[in-house]
Amino acid sequence: MTPFALLARLGAAVLGLMASLGRITLFTLSAFSHMVRPPYYAREVLNALIQVGWMSLPVVGLTAIFTGGALALQIYAGGARFNAEAVVPQIVAIGMVRELGPVLVGLMIAARVTSSIAAEIATMKVTEQIDALVTLSTHPMKYLVAPRVLAGLLTVPLMVGVGDIIGIMGGYLVSTKSLGFNPASYMINTVNFLAAHDIYTSLLKGAAFGVIATVMGCYYGMQSGRGAQGVGRATKSSVEAAAVLILATNFVLTGVFFSI
C-alpha cells in the first residue's frame, strides 16, 4: 500500500468518525427537544424508569459491593508495604465516589440497558412497528426515544449514589471483619474525608453516563438494518459505543471537575 493510499484511508476513517459524532449529536439534541415539548407519554416514561432504574439495582448493588471489598483488600495489601494501612477508609471512599462508582454503574447500564434498548427498537424497526407509529401520527422520537433518555437522566445518578454507598459498605465489611479495623473509627474517617464536591461530581457523572447509555441504545436501534443480522449488529455496536463514550467522558469530566 502506497503512503498516499494509507493517508486516504486514514482521512476517510477520521471523516467517518466525525460524521458519526455529528449524527449522534443531532440525534441527542432532537431527543431533548422532544423531551420538553408535548405531548407527553407518562406510561412510557414510567415503564422506562422501571426498566432503566429499578430493574438495574441488583446488578449495580452486586458490582458495587464486590468492588468495594476488593478495593479495600488491594489498598490494605499495598499500604502494608509502607506502613500506611490506616488509609484504607479514605481511599476506598474517594475511589468509589469519584471514580469507580460512576464508571462501573455506567458500564453496567451500558451492558444491561443499552443492549436491551437497541435490540428492542431494532426489532420494532425490522417488524415495521415504527412505521406503524408514524402511520398513527405518533413521532417515534417522542414515543420511543425521549422517555428512555429521560429515564437514564433521572435514574442513573440515583443508582450511582446507591452504588457509592454499597461500595463503601463493601469496603467497610471487609475492613472490619477481615482486616481488624474498628467499625466506628472506619465510618468516622470515611465521613470526614469525603467532601460535598466529591458527591456532586459523582452524581453529575451518573447523569452524563445515563444519557450516553440510553442515547446509544436508541440511536443504534433506530439505525438498525433489516433482518436478524441488523438487530445483532445494532446491539453490539450500541454497547461498544456506549462503553467507549462513557470512559472517554469520564476522563474529560474528571479533568474538568478536579483540575488535573
pLDDT tens, position by position, 245-257: 999 999 999 999 8
- Min mean pLDDT across 81-90, 168-177, 227-236 is at 81-90
Average pLDDT, the chain: 91
Please give the pLDDT value at position 96. Answer: 94
Q: Where are the domains of the chain?
A: 40-258
Please give the pLDDT value at position 260. Answer: 55
> How does pLDDT run across 39-98, given as a tens digit for each residue?
889 999 999 999 998 999 999 999 999 999 999 999 998 887 777 778 889 999 999 999
Q: Is the pLDDT of residue 1 over 70?
A: no
Average pLDDT over residues 106-127: 93
Chain centre to alpha carbon of residue 158: 12
> How does pLDDT run across 2-14, given as a tens digit for each residue?
777 788 888 888 8
> How does pLDDT run across 191-210, given as a tens digit for each residue?
888 989 999 999 999 999 99
| Distance, CA of 232 to CA of 123 (rounded, Å) | 10
